[in-house]
Amino acid sequence: MSVYTIVSREELSDWIARYAVGELVDMQGIAAGIENTNYFVATTGGSYVLTLYERMPIEELPFYLHLIAHLAREGIPCPAPIADRTGALFGVLNGKPAGFVTRLAGRSVPSPSGRHCTAVGTVLARLHLAGKKFTGHLENRRGPLWRQQTARAVRRFLSAEQTALLDVELVAQKNLADAALPRGAIHGDLFRDNVLFDGGDVSGVVDFGFAAVDELAYDLAITVNDWCTRADGALVDRHVHALVRAYNAIRPLTAEEKIAWPLLLRAAVLRFWLSRLYDVHLPRPGELTHAKDPLELERIMRARAAAGVVFPFL
**Binding positions for a copy of itself, rule: CB under 8 A:** 168-169, 171-173, 175-176, 178-180, 255-256, 258-263, 266, 305-313
- Least Cβ distance, residue 222 to a copy of itself (angstroms): 17
Select 98 or 217, whichever has its Cβ closest to a copy of itself: 217
Q: Which residues contact 55 (CB under 8 A, 6 or more apart)?
A: 35, 36, 209
Select 100 or 261, whichever has its Cβ closest to a copy of itself: 261
- Least Cβ distance, residue 178 to a copy of itself (angstroms): 4
Select 103 or 245, whichever has its Cβ closest to a copy of itself: 245
- Least Cβ distance, residue 313 to a copy of itself (angstroms): 4
- Least Cβ distance, residue 180 to a copy of itself (angstroms): 7
Select 207 or 257, whichever has its Cβ closest to a copy of itself: 257
Select 21 or 240, whichever has its Cβ closest to a copy of itself: 240
Can you state the angle between helices 255-281 and 294-307, rounded to 10 degrees? 150
- Least Cβ distance, residue 256 to a copy of itself (angstroms): 7
Select 108 or 173, whichever has its Cβ closest to a copy of itself: 173
Nearest to 101 by CA among 124, 71, 139: 71
Q: Which residues contact 142 (CB under 8 A, 6 or more apart)?
A: 188, 210, 212, 271, 275
- Least Cβ distance, residue 121 to a copy of itself (angstroms): 18
How many helical (H) and strand (E) elements, i.e. helices and strands, does the chain have?
9, 9
- Least Cβ distance, residue 170 to a copy of itself (angstroms): 10
What is the per-residue DSSP string for 84-143? -TTS-S-EEETTEEEEEEEPPP-B--SS--HHHHHHHHHHHHHHHHHHTT-----B-TTS
Select 20 or 168, whichever has its Cβ closest to a copy of itself: 168
**Residue 175: half-sphere exposure toward Cβ, Cα within 13 Å:** 14
Burial pattern 219-228, b for ≥16 Cβ within 10 A else e, equals bbbbbbbbbb
**Residue 110: half-sphere exposure toward Cβ, Cα within 13 Å:** 1
C-alpha span between 8 and 2 (Å, rounded): 16
